[in-house]
Amino acid sequence: MDWRSWLRPSDHSPVPPDPRDVRIADLLQADPSKAHVALIGIPFDTTVIGRRGAREAPGAIRRALYRMTAFDLESGVDLAGTLRLADLGDIAVVHTDVHETHRRVAAVAAEAVRQGLRLLILGGDHGLSYATIRGVVEGLGGQPIGVVQFDAHHDLREPLEGEITSGTPFRRLLEEGILQGRHLAQIGLLGGRNSRAYHEVARRYGVHMIPAGRVHQMDLESIVRGMLERVTSGTAGFWISFDMDVFDPAYAPGVSAPSPGGLTAFQGLAMVRQLAAHPACVGMDLMETAPPLDPDGRTVALAAALAYRFLAGQGELRQRS
């Protein structure tokens, strides 16, 4: 046998690819107009309040996600025959200019929505959700949307002296009228992570709040049903905004603000898939994964699994239609 037959092209993978596997990378379309879902990265963490590192997440999550197989055993959905994905790359952020970066994020999100794409956005710090949600609303012609926010924190801080941070996105959205409080559901909130003042802001705006402790005691399907009723009533669709610090640090230690007592991996994964399978779901942003703070890679792996469950939900929706 010719010695060259023992050589294979190098893909820097620790395990040789199985030719029987169809991976998420195989779903990628060169032409975005032929895709159902567009993936966009935002390598930006200038506004994070705590520890930095989330700007490195888009690349790390992509690498983990694209190695996953396209067959979702749990739902029985084979994404290879159901879902087409376009990776639009990373937004060219300006690390020293928050307003310009947010302007670019909103413009890209708006145009993608106008083209009929569902969005999977990988951040980046949670301050970016102001821009992603603003862009989605613009793309829908200014129609109201609902938001399901997975987070240990309200993120309703007042921008002191005009400073924009990862703690201010939903305060800005509410104050500017881009989002109505009755259309916002916050899940996974924790004691010791939120002040009374901002809790009162949430109550004043009529935000629906589900603390982590209640999630641990309730049936997940009933939680999702209740959230969907709120975020789809009187809206043109809803958005999922997911801050990885909603998880207990046992599952996601590599975040800016680890939150003991948070959600389990199973809870987050199950709820994201159910939400993504709803026809009114416009997309999801996945924020606050910080690879430099994640030495064993478990936070990145969980973030990639969340991205995968979002795609699985979208595939389930298309398989039903």
Is a pLDDT exceeding 70 seen at residue 139?
yes
pLDDT at position 14 is: 57
Residue 118 dihedral angles phi and psi, to the nearest 5°: -85, 150
Closest alpha carbon to 316 in 277, 289, 287? 277
Comparing 28 with 321, the larger pLDDT belongs to 28
pLDDT value, residue 128: 97
- Of 19 and 213, the structure prediction assigns the larger pLDDT to 213
Mean pLDDT calculated for residue range 67-74 = 92
Q: Strand, coil or helix: what is 159?
A: coil
Q: Which CATH architecture has domain 22-320?
A: 3-Layer(aba) Sandwich (3.40)
The domains of the chain are located at 22-320
CA dist., res. 31 & res. 3, Å (int): 39
Average pLDDT of span 307-313 = 98
Residue 163, pLDDT > 60, answer yes
pLDDT given at position 299? 98
Instruction: Categorize the per-residue pLDDT at 75 as very low, low, confident or very high, splitting at 50, 70 and 90.
Output: confident
Q: What is the pLDDT, as a whole number, of residue 162?
A: 79
Res 165 pLDDT > 90: no
What separation in angstroms does the CA of 291 have from each of 55, 194, 244? Answer: 9, 25, 12
pLDDT at position 321 over 90: no
**218, 266, 281, 234 alpha-carbon torsion, rounded to 10°:** 10
Question: Of 12-21, 140-149, 270-279, which range is least confident?
Answer: 12-21
pLDDT surpasses 90 at 168 = no
Q: Are 294 and 300 in contact (CB under 8 A)?
A: yes
Over residues 78-101, the mean pLDDT reads 94
- Which backbone phi and psi does 116 adopt, to 5 degrees? 85, 15
Local confidence band at 193 (pLDDT 50, 70, 90 cut-offs) = confident
What mean pLDDT is predicted for residues 81-99? 94
CB atoms within 10 A of CB 158: 14
State the chain's mean pLDDT as an integer: 93
- The pLDDT value given to residue 1: 53
pLDDT at 12: 52
Reported pTM: 0.93
The pLDDT value recorded for residue 250 is 97
Q: For 273, what's the count of Cα atoms within 13 Å in the CB-facing half-sphere? A: 21
